[in-house]
Structure 1
Amino acid sequence: MTIIRKQSLLIGAILCYVLACTVISLKPNHSPETESVELIAPEASFFQEGNVQSRADYEREMLVDPKTGEVPKDIRSKELKFLNQLKFENEKLRLQKSLAGSDNFNALSVLNQWTSIGPQNIGGRTRALALDVRNENTILAGGVSGGVWRSTNGGQSWSKTTSPNQIQSVTAITQDVRSGQEDVWYYGTGELVGNSGRAPGAPFRGDGIFKSVDGGLSWQVLTSTQSLTPAGFVSPFQYVWDITTDPNSPEDVILAAVWGGIVRSADGGNTWTTVLGDNFLNQPSSTDLNELQAIFYTDIHRAGNGVFYATLSNVTNSSGNLSSKGGVYRSNDGASWSVIANWNSSPVQRTEIASSASDPNIVYFLSDRANRGYSLYRYNASTDALTDLGDNLPDGGDDIEELESQESYNLVVGVHPENPNVVYVGGTNLYRSTDGFTSSENTQWIGGYALDEDGDVVVYENHHPDQHNLVFLPSDPNKMISANDGGLFLTENNLADEVEYISLNNGYVTTQFYTGAISRNQAEDLVIGGTQDNGSILTFNTATDNGPNGVTVIGGDGGFSATTDFGIYYYMSFQNSRIFRLALNERAQLTSFARVDPIGGGSDPSQSYLFINPYILDPNYANRMYLAGGDHIWRNQNLSQIPSGSQQPTSVNWDKLEETEIADGTISALQVSTNPRNILYFGTSNGQLYKVENAHSELYEVTEITSSSFSSEGYIRSIAVDPTDANHILVAFSNYNIHSIYRSVDGGESFHMAAGNLEGDPTGAGTGPSVRWVSIVPKTSGRYEYYAGTSIGLFSTTSIEEGVEPVWVQESPEGIGNTIVNMIDYRQVDGKIAVATHGGGLYTSQIASVVQNDNLVEVDKLEVQTVYPNPFSEKVLIKINSPDTRFVIMRIYDTNGNEVKRITSSLAFQGENDFFWNGTNNQEQPVSSGLYIIRITHEGGEESKRVILQRN
């Protein structure tokens, strides 16, 4: 796997020069012989303990209606209906223009050709999984935000069978297994726990049950399960926990575990009745289910003998109020039910069910008992005995990490088809007991996370944390497919002492990206993105059917990423702004790293780092970083001087820009200009916008440019700066029910609304989408292309003018479709553009005739521009200009010619470079006042300057 050719030539030239000068021996970063090093990532988890601001809080804050403080009810259903109306209006306008003999509408749209680049081999969160009873090599699986996928060769390749405009939030799937009816499949939608803000109305909310009559090749919604009105949360089918059919009935029976209870249809989904729990079917359109107390967690299971089991939580959507209906139930026909156990007054959240194929009378119930841990009950239907085995579940002893469901987010139980005493339970990790958990001695940790030789928590080899489903292959019950937050994994022997897994994510493109960044090196055809639970992934820009093209470089929940112009350094981050500078070998493995985020950043608990926290590399100077530090902007003038190998925050070259302090909220977006350079814009989580001029210097000036038309509590998610004109900017607010996009052409002195037809109402109220990202692309023709990533897909326009409502058109409706687009990244040097979706992976396209950046500092040779201040007392700046990217060695000598300190042996990038000396020696001890010589050795020769250290 070769990352770049140009980079290898660059480093090779550097190496030859350095060796020839006998100055230093440099091992190139991208060499097949280099060994990888290990960087310990934090656990990626939905409710990870210790997060100052959890993922749920972060995503919720981006979306809430500032007026109510809540995500609008039923907003996903509303915005998808809005999308259909928007398409209709655009098509009508196109037709009107065409009939009038005008091509003005076509001129307004961009409509690039977009290519899915996967990653082809790294899946996303998967709850739905089933095998075709006629052929176990036919697998249907569904991502919670990635749609339904189908494989006919045992997971060696996949094709997506839901259309881009259908609900992509797939949570459960089942087949009608009756003879002659096997082509009938159903899938349920709507993830209630685990999505972006778990309140009803969140983006991964569903809208019914879908049916296929052609073996899962195409799908149509059951209209009886679809909300008939966008006015409120009125249907329990908007959250489907599980679904099954009745193989023993001549009727087309479906049973579904939904919000509030268990529902049943005897006519293939045309009509429904509630058979257990709370009846919320056929509610008046004025009903709001949020206001009615309802059972929160439900589950349905069919044993091998056709007997149905169901569970209802007594925990409800009303805090502190328990349902008297909570418990475990049994039925022979799915219509009449008898109670096996009541939960009584003890709060019980989610309960999952599994039975033994070899003895269907043996059934297991695994429960999350809220603040009382977990329980596992074994039920024997032949004797009606219910045995509590909960004390034997993994509790953190015997070197086995305790069972953790993350508040019922991930929970699964499975039974080996040939042995009812071999039981698998999963939460964050996967465990196996060979004595049915009748003791704790025969339990092994077989998936999710693992412990390495040093006792550190790492991801289990070829597996992934957060377990959601287990399916056993009929031909060999020792073969098992595990579904989790990393997609799908097969083991050939689930009874082995050391269970080994094979990834089935071979074109199963369901990865959930928060961010995406194109390599700034034109010779590198890759995109780096931060993902939910899958860390930071380097994805090569190749078609998804050409083999594996993604590499998980670091774990955790991946954040923002960036690269330098020649790809020498790659910057990636974990949740809560733990940022690393990385060097990679030809297999994209780490060869060196340095943690680069500042000591003290985000330290105010009330204004801490965001869960996915923004930072940027200065496009004019690849060693300079600006970081959103909670309540301040932080600036690092030379990241390459930070020593390698540390996993702790650093103080090297970081400055806290005190004048950027905000009184309330959190810094949520930032961008820096290229023409002119060094203008930094940043926005906050409560709608404030600032402009920092001379952001690179100590003489920076901060001006608040918040418009009076902005929502005072709006969340600024993205700022786009025209690379040819720093006064031309777009500002995007991600909240619902406020205006989403503003444009300024005078550097923020005035703004006008620019969301146009993306808003359901001119004020921003209504059913328009959440706008996550905006980009400005200047063309050589003098025109512009504007892009907006939204919760209903990617949109573009070529005209935004004050006083004229922009017409935004959906890009790639048949590819990207209505998938959430969290980020857009554009490379000015050649017009390459990428979008990061939450559930559909990455897409790239090529924009023709873009304006390139011609504002870089151009010099014929490396020169020292500034040594300032001189004399100095604490820190001196040594600014050099380099004609290209090259290796430099910078050392300090005393007047006797003795080396005092080697400041750096690192890269100077093309253009400006700032290096610093703090008046210490190689042992980091202060040196005495006096005259010192700065000597810079580089490919083109050597430069020297004098500096006086004058201590106060």
Structure 2
Amino acid sequence: MKTKTLLLSIAILIFAGFNVIFLNSKASKAELQTKSVVNNSKTTSNNNGKKNKSGTKALKSTNTQMNWLEMGPSNIGGRTRALLIDKDNSNLIFAGSVGGGIWKSTTGGLSWVKVDGGDLFDNLFVSSICQSANGDIYVGTGEYFGTYNRQGFQGQGIWKSINHGQTWTHLTSTWNDSDNSKQIFNYVNKLAAHPTNNNKIYAATYKGLMLSIDGGNTWNNTVSDTNADFTCTDVQISKDGLVVVASLNNKAYVCNTGNDVFINKSGTNQVLPLDTISIDVKRIEFAIAPSNSNYIYCLAADTTGALNNVYQSKDKGNTWTALLINMSSQFVPFGTAKSGVYNNSIAVYPDDYEHILIGGVNLFEWSPLNPWQQVSSNEWDFTSPIYVHSGIHTIVFADNYSTENPVIYAGTDGGVFRSLYGGYAWQQLNKNYNTTIYNSLAFSNTGKIIGGTYNNGTLMLSLNGTTEKDAISLYTGSNNGFNCEYSMLNPKLIFVTNSYGALGRSEDEGNIIETDPAELFSPYLTSHQTISDTTQPYQTPIRLWESFYDTNSTQYILSKIARPVVLGDTIYPESSCKRILPHILTVSDMNGQDTLQKGDTVYVKDTYQSILAMGFKNSVWITRQGLDMSKSPMSWYSISSLDTVKKAQNIEFSKNGDVLYFSDYNYLTDTSRIYRCANLTNGRDSLTGDYNSSQNVITTQEIGKFGHKITSIAVDPENANNIIVTLGGYGKSDYIYYSFNAATTTSMLTADNFMLKQGYLDSIPIYSSIILWNNSLQVILGTENGIYSTDNITASSPVWLEQNTGLAHVPVVQLRQQIHPNGWFAAPVFNGGFNSDITNHGVIYAATAGRGIFRCEDFKGPVNVPEISNNKVNDSKIIVFPNPAKDFANISFNVNKKTNVIINIYNINGSIVKSIKLNNQEPGNHTIGFVTNNLNKGIYFAKMETDETISTAKFIVY
């Protein structure tokens, strides 16, 4: 057997009058979609961001125009906190989605449409809906109960419709230039309408229980004690309008006289009196029996989010009794995660005042004769009749509910569900209810999408479902899906993540996903990091860098010869990523032989290369074996070494893979730092790349520190020095920064490396960013209110243009663009090249928190390779001899008419090593000579260009 080492591989050339290079994918990272209000502030900077520094909104787009195409999912709903059945039409149903806005169904929920103009409401974080006696509909915004005991997206008051949802008006009494209105109505947690007084509306707001007696034109705080200005989270009114009960500062307030005088009915200490509700609670929700207003129920979650108790009053709220005296540890309606602050709902059956339904993670019913029976489960298959998605936020009975019409609706984290059997069998009602909350996305080489969602796992838009917009579930994990990656080199290979460092890898697009840490992480990594531990970043950060032609690769394929071959023949070994790697046999491969026989071996450099980076507590780790499914576990090493690093958050590569940027976050100080890891090109293994190694060549440097959480890092595909950093959270005026020296700076000071680029952009959280693949000046942002862009980020005050055509005023939590070019590598020796199989170069994809996935095709790259300029055609009239050549070679060519001739000699890397110019060549055959002894051994290409033709030839120097 003959075994030789190959130094060179696929020819990627500058050929036929155009550059052929492959760029490496990058992406933007969004923060956790639910954000904390800084220091529990009651107000926000610049009036919640709707007014900027000059008091005007950001400009509408007038130059660059981006158009967005909705991709779905159209079959998987998102978080739904409010449902309303129209009082005059039981088939007309309104659903309020957090981030998705207001939707309606005219078919009893069988299919949905957005309300007219709904995508362009200034705020889509719908939290509550009610309908007055005359049919007017009120919609409240702002999600006070965000995830994990944090406040969620802020709202902007109340909208009203006087024509059953055909048109809508934003009530200026709830959102105007007054700071007071914005302090009160930025969270409207619940709305309740008086059953007979058309104009009497109660609003449970961020600063108290507000009452309007004129249809929302004016509002007054209706509670007068010391808790009046605290957050009110629930309000309910009886069918006769005489009883109103509200949760204010986590205490129960009751008015049962019809005069709006409220009395605190919670205990005064943590010892529960028999006739009051405990004060040791974090959230309480009420329900008044429609058939008997003497009966009121309260579902209470304690300060940890676990069940405190369920209370019953039989005397209009004057006295209360706990229904659970000796609670079983097995009765956990809010689950083991104790989510009762986040999802907490209760309702009374209209035909039985001692029959209730409560919701949290699952649904349970109670009656004196049949206490606490579970009637749904989120652990069953979604096709099961007892399946209801977890995160149950609202339960609504049909107005005409009866034993003959036992219809119930539920709003959940998975959209809308309906029971036609009194709660004993359920069906999903999410057709065209495009409200999925995404955390991340990744795209394939042809535009398929995988994305991590909130409480819907990781989904795939395969573009070939029942409809093109239908999604399928790939990976549920803890029901949340986070960062993910789609390989360009192996289009079937994907990576998915779950919380706290959980990783999955699949080579068949998710049919089988490898999730066992022992199969994915080397013992070296797990000796330093504990997978799925809460000390790890909640949203597991990963990024995949890939190259179709990495000449610095140190990996080789041992290729066995299948048939006799000679010098200059092409063999086709398979790389570690399962991609064919054409290789032309060189003199060094032949090992002095004229012919390699079947069974001989050749070492071929694997120029298909990748790096998978993953963020952990205090460090970032990488592996170069992510695409090699034979490596189980993969070999990992840590590339960051600074003591200041907290939990890693965002990760981005430079185009060539030499630089990696990442950020961390310190929640105790609400600060983020950004770091640069450089020289990854030479840090190829644990010896040269691990920070613990004495031979480590990778350097890590802090280059900036910011208040609030860094939500994204964008790296210029054309220049790794240029990066964007965006910030999230409320309460700031500045959210976007730009650096033009990030890859080369030696300073740690933010002021030395970053410039503020807020301009007159609204002071709102920014979650994602990209620098356009072919224009270093153009930056695109994903904000709380959709997409904005500037055509010149280097301007001292960039002009930001709204770019929401086809999209919505929805948080865009991640933006990613395809920067690998379409189609063919130009390599004439391989019959004109070989196909990368990429068809979506330049397409931008957006993941939103409430409206699913969108794409923009306005910046698409050319199809395949650029056309040859000046209408020149390929004309193979050039011959190089002798071939192989040693010290001297000749070029023979033919021209049909008098013309100028330029002959360029290219090496395997596409660089010109010799150029010959011949003017005014007469028609006929010509031969010229040139020396080759000053050229390195290897493969070369001669390209001859005349006024009308281009000709090429390959030759070898030995």
Normalised by the length of structure 2, the TM-score is 0.67
Q: Deviations over 1:729-768 (max 9, x none)?
A: 33434464445221326734397756645456xxxxxx62
Q: Deviations over 1:841-888 (max 9, x none)?
A: 21111144537999xxxxxxxxxxxxxxxxxxxxxxxxxx9xxxxxxx
| Local SS of the residue matching 1:559 | coil
Establish whether residue 808 from structure 1 lines up as the match of residue 800 from structure 2. yes
* Residues in 1 aligned to 2:511 and 2:184: alpha-carbon distance in whole angstroms: 47
Establish whether residue 188 from structure 1 lines up as the match of residue 183 from structure 2. no
1:174 to 124, 130, 133: 130
* Residues in 1 aligned to 2:41 and 2:722: alpha-carbon distance in whole angstroms: 31
2:360 to 422, 427, 444: 427
Establish whether residue 572 from structure 1 lines up as the match of residue 496 from structure 2. yes
* Residues in 2 aligned to 1:725 and 1:234: alpha-carbon distance in whole angstroms: 42
1:747 counterpart residue number: 743
Per the TM alignment, residue 591 of structure 1 is displaced from its structure 2 partner at its CA by 6.8
| Local SS of the residue matching 2:92 | strand
Establish whether residue 690 from structure 1 lines up as the match of residue 676 from structure 2. yes
Q: Deviations over 1:419-454 (max 9, x none)?
A: 333321122222122x24x6xx643223353379xx
1:560 counterpart residue number: 483
Assess, with a 3 A threshold, how the Cα gap between structure 1 residues 796 and 593 changes in structure 2: closer, same or farther: same
Residue 861 of structure 2 aligns to which amino acid in structure 1?
A: V
State how 1:511-910 maps to structure 2 within 5 Å. Answer: 511-519=436-444, 521-522=445-446, 525-540=447-462, 548-551=470-473, 553-555=475-477, 556-565=479-488, 566-584=490-508, 589-590=511-512, 595=517, 596-597=520-521, 598-600=525-527, 602-603=529-530, 608-620=535-547, 624-641=611-628, 652-657=634-639, 660-674=641-655, 676-685=656-665, 686-695=672-681, 696-698=683-685, 699-700=688-689, 701-704=697-700, 706-707=702-703, 710-711=704-705, 713=707, 715-734=709-728, 736-738=732-734, 740-744=736-740, 747-749=743-745, 756-758=757-759, 768-779=763-774, 785-801=778-794, 804-812=796-804, 814-828=805-819, 829=821, 830-850=841-861
Assess, with a 3 A threshold, how the Cα gap between structure 1 residues 376 and 734 changes in structure 2: closer, same or farther: closer
Establish whether residue 220 from structure 1 lines up as the match of residue 189 from structure 2. no
Assess, with a 3 A threshold, how the Cα gap between structure 1 residues 789 and 652 changes in structure 2: closer, same or farther: same
Residue 168 of structure 1 aligns to which amino acid in structure 2?
A: L
Q: Deviations over 1:508-538 (max 9, x none)?
A: 222221211112x22xx32211122221121
1:408 counterpart residue number: 341
| Local SS of the residue matching 1:148 | strand
Counterpart contact for 1:580–1:593, Cα < 8 Å: yes
Residue 376 of structure 2 aligns to which amino acid in structure 1?
A: G
2:195 to 247, 257, 260: 247
2:104 to 132, 150, 166: 150
Per the TM alignment, residue 638 of structure 1 is displaced from its structure 2 partner at its CA by 1.1
* Residues in 2 aligned to 1:198 and 1:76: alpha-carbon distance in whole angstroms: 22
* Residues in 1 aligned to 2:317 and 2:208: alpha-carbon distance in whole angstroms: 27
Per the TM alignment, residue 543 of structure 1 is displaced from its structure 2 partner at its CA by 12
State how 1:163-562 maps to structure 2 within 5 Å. Answer: 163-176=119-132, 178=133, 181-182=134-135, 184-194=136-146, 198=150, 204-230=153-179, 235-249=183-197, 252-276=199-223, 294-313=229-248, 315=250, 326-333=251-258, 335-337=260-262, 346-370=279-303, 373-381=307-315, 386-391=320-325, 395-396=329-330, 406-433=339-366, 435-436=367-368, 442-450=371-379, 462-473=387-398, 474=400, 477-496=405-424, 499=425, 501-519=426-444, 521-522=445-446, 525-540=447-462, 548-551=470-473, 553-555=475-477, 556-562=479-485
Residue 460 of structure 2 aligns to which amino acid in structure 1?
A: L
Q: How many aligned positions are there? A: 713
| Local SS of the residue matching 2:223 | strand
Assess, with a 3 A threshold, how the Cα gap between structure 1 residues 552 and 669 changes in structure 2: closer, same or farther: same
CA RMSD for the aligned pairs?
3.9
Q: Deviations over 1:531-551 (max 9, x none)?
A: 222211212458998663353
* Residues in 1 aligned to 2:264 and 2:149: alpha-carbon distance in whole angstroms: 33
Task: Please say which of residues 476-485 and 379-388 is displaced more in the overlay.
Answer: 379-388
Counterpart contact for 1:716–1:732, Cα < 8 Å: yes
Counterpart contact for 1:560–1:573, Cα < 8 Å: yes
* Residues in 2 aligned to 1:419 and 1:746: alpha-carbon distance in whole angstroms: 67
Residue 239 of structure 2 aligns to which amino acid in structure 1?
A: G
* Residues in 2 aligned to 1:197 and 1:749: alpha-carbon distance in whole angstroms: 40
Structure 1 residue runs without a partner (length 5+): 1-54, 95-105, 280-291, 316-325, 645-649, 761-766, 855-880, 882-952
Assess, with a 3 A threshold, how the Cα gap between structure 1 residues 583 and 808 changes in structure 2: closer, same or farther: same
| Local SS of the residue matching 1:78 | helix
Per the TM alignment, residue 635 of structure 1 is displaced from its structure 2 partner at its CA by 1.3
* Residues in 2 aligned to 1:665 and 1:383: alpha-carbon distance in whole angstroms: 49
Assess, with a 3 A threshold, how the Cα gap between structure 1 residues 195 and 348 changes in structure 2: closer, same or farther: closer
Residue 843 of structure 1 aligns to which amino acid in structure 2?
A: F
Structure 2 residue runs without a partner (length 5+): 1-29, 271-278, 548-607, 666-671, 690-696, 747-751, 822-840, 866-907, 909-958
* Residues in 1 aligned to 2:412 and 2:394: alpha-carbon distance in whole angstroms: 7
Per the TM alignment, residue 811 of structure 1 is displaced from its structure 2 partner at its CA by 1.1
Structure having greater relative contact order (Cα 8 Å, sep ≥ 6): 2
* Residues in 2 aligned to 1:843 and 1:382: alpha-carbon distance in whole angstroms: 50
* Residues in 2 aligned to 1:606 and 1:58: alpha-carbon distance in whole angstroms: 21
Counterpart contact for 1:705–1:748, Cα < 8 Å: no
Task: Please say which of residues 363-372 and 152-161 is displaced more in the overlay.
Answer: 363-372
Q: Deviations over 1:304-328 (max 9, x none)?
A: 333333133454xxxxxxxxxx334
Counterpart contact for 1:117–1:542, Cα < 8 Å: no
* Residues in 2 aligned to 1:430 and 1:187: alpha-carbon distance in whole angstroms: 26
* Residues in 1 aligned to 2:59 and 2:379: alpha-carbon distance in whole angstroms: 53
| Local SS of the residue matching 1:390 | coil
Task: Please say which of residues 75-84 and 738-747 is displaced more in the overlay.
Answer: 75-84
* Residues in 2 aligned to 1:363 and 1:72: alpha-carbon distance in whole angstroms: 31
* Residues in 2 aligned to 1:632 and 1:419: alpha-carbon distance in whole angstroms: 58
Counterpart contact for 2:393–2:411, Cα < 8 Å: yes
* Residues in 1 aligned to 2:60 and 2:457: alpha-carbon distance in whole angstroms: 38
* Residues in 2 aligned to 1:395 and 1:196: alpha-carbon distance in whole angstroms: 22
1:82 to 45, 52, 56: 52
